[in-house]
Amino acid sequence: MAEYHLKGPLTDEDVTKLKIGDTVYISGECFTCRSRLQKYIFDEKNVLPFGTKERNILIHNGPIVIKENGKWKLMSFMPTSSIRFEKWGAKSVDEWNLKMIVGKTTMGAETAKMMKEKKCVHVSPRSVSPNLWIDSIEVQDVYLYDELGRIEAAWFFKVNELGPFIVDIDCEGNNYFDRLDQDIADKKDEALKKLGIDENFEFTKLY
Amino acid sequence: MIKTEIYEQALFETIKRGATEISPDVKDAFMKAIEREANPDAKNGLEATLKSMEMSKVRENPLCVDTGWPIFYFKVGNQCELEGGFVELENAARRAVAKATELGYLRATMKHPLTGYDPGNNIGMNIPDFTYQFVDGDAIEMSYAAKGGGSECFGGTRHRIVAFADGIKGIEKFVIESFVASARAGAVCPPSVLGIGIGGTANVAANLAKEAACLRTVGSKHPDPMFAKIEEDLYEAINSLGIGILGAGGSTSVLAVNVEYAYTHIAGIACATSTNCMVARRASSRIDGNGTVTKMTSPNWFGDR
């Protein structure tokens, strides 16, 4: 498993070398997104009020940002579960030309397919450690604050060596968590056996 | 009579402490998990999480960006007298939540379920949530639990009626299969504090599961050996699965398994699970009848466990 320190905007070359299980740290310009932004753009047919060519790293997150002495202050940050945004995942990768999605959990098959086609990766954290991250993040600006609210607005972050994140979907469509599933399923069968639960056990059907 | 300003200030301090300070029992569980973790990446993840949680206390910022559903539990003395009564207690709790949100200790996370309207202060229909228990005496104990979205939304909370024909085996299989599905890719933010409710109607089982997840002292055991054995067996079984911190592999998948029960109908056994995320946020305070406020290290919801 290799470790990479990448600087945005990311290129195809930057991301195609990443394999599932690799560790990445990122620097450069990113924007935050939750479902309300994707719904606003893709379902309600509004135009994204900023370009993503120079800002092709999307972070699934609703940060806590407060205003202190007229300046934005980031109180807390933690990537949030990506899988619930699967409905708009492929569209986001395609239309916004994303090269990296920073989230938690992972994305589904449709997004992974588009990520393979457009060369994009998904990465996620291995800890819940906002305080080890917020010093690496500068809040630059915010878009759609009035329309979407403080949490679901698109925040512009400039990040410096933000990480570590694990690559869980690579540009070949491989998923790190799919590989773990079989191992966990095998261990689950052993654990059930140890508890005296037969492999042929079936619940009495009540409904 | 306990003055409004005293209980309102205690409510605010309890919310702030719950959002920004790791509980001592959760910290102990983390330290034990770090010690026995066999996967080096998972060990780093546990260490980073603990380090960040300790920094939150100093920096006075949230342990996690998702500050969850605001939930209050009150253990009320039968002779407890509050200025303005219990209606005012709930009003004061709402004001304290709004203030904690304004100051950034809580994120404005609560929104209208259909329109998505964000009031910006975490206050709305039936939110915050209040639960009461009545005991002797003139004191009031208050616990604030912040139930995270990840731990609640991805199948960590679910229920099944298990037939008496299937008994403990049925309960254990249901719990293990539910947990594996909900922890996939770290959805419920494992290592979890897994609460299990057995018996009662489905909602009683679900409430017991939530209280077992949010209000039991991590590391405590059920006093009835039959239930303590289920806790121990499931703790060992789930930690043998290799799910690990945020589901990326490792030897700690649960910090604790806590079971609580109620008598049930001859027709079946309601069984419910509730996972609490690894930060397991909560704080508790006690106000005696003379107005003295004390910080509690454990909620005391289930007596000494």
Our count of domains for chain B comes to: 2
Interchain contact, B247 vs A183, CB within 8 Å: no
Does one domain contain both B142 and B206? no
Residues in chain A closer than 8 A to B55 (CB atoms): 131-132
Looking at the domain assignment, is residue B285 inside a domain? yes
* pLDDT tens, position by position, A80-120: 999 999 999 999 999 999 999 999 999 999 999 999 999 99
Residues in chain B closer than 8 A to A83 (CB atoms): 185, 187
Asked if pLDDT for residue A76 goes beyond 90, the answer is yes
A164/A172 Cα distance (integer angstroms): 21
**Domains present along chain A, CATH in parentheses:** 3-176 (3.20.130.10)
Q: What is the mean pLDDT of each run of 10 residues along chain B (305 residues)?
A: 98 98 97 96 97 97 96 98 98 98 95 92 98 98 96 93 97 97 96 98 98 97 98 98 97 98 97 97 97 97 93
CA distance B290 to chain A (A): 37
Does one domain contain both B11 and B81? yes
Residues in chain A closer than 8 A to B156 (CB atoms): none
- What is the share, in percent, of chain A residues with pLDDT greater than 90? 96
| Mutate which: B37, B51, B53, B65, vs A, most A CBs within 10 A | B65
Does one domain contain both B102 and B238? no
Question: Are B253 and B182 contacting, i.e. CB atoms less than 8 angstroms apart?
Answer: no
Looking at the domain assignment, is residue B247 inside a domain? yes
Does one domain contain both B245 and B192? yes
Looking at the domain assignment, is residue B79 inside a domain? yes
| Mutate which: B34, B47, B50, B52, vs A, most A CBs within 10 A | B52
* pLDDT tens, position by position, A127-136: 999 999 999 9
Interface ipTM: 0.95
Q: What confidence score (pLDDT) does residue B73 get? A: 98
Candidates B107, B172, B243; nearest CB to A62: B107
Domain membership of residue B228 as a residue range: 150-276
Average pLDDT, chain A: 96
Q: Which residues of A151-167 are buried (b: 16+ CB within 10 A; e: fewer)?
A: bbbbbbbbbeebbbbbb
Sort strands A3-7 and A23-33 into parallel, antiparallel or unpaired: parallel
Asked if pLDDT for residue A207 goes beyond 90, the answer is no
Looking at the domain assignment, is residue B31 inside a domain? no
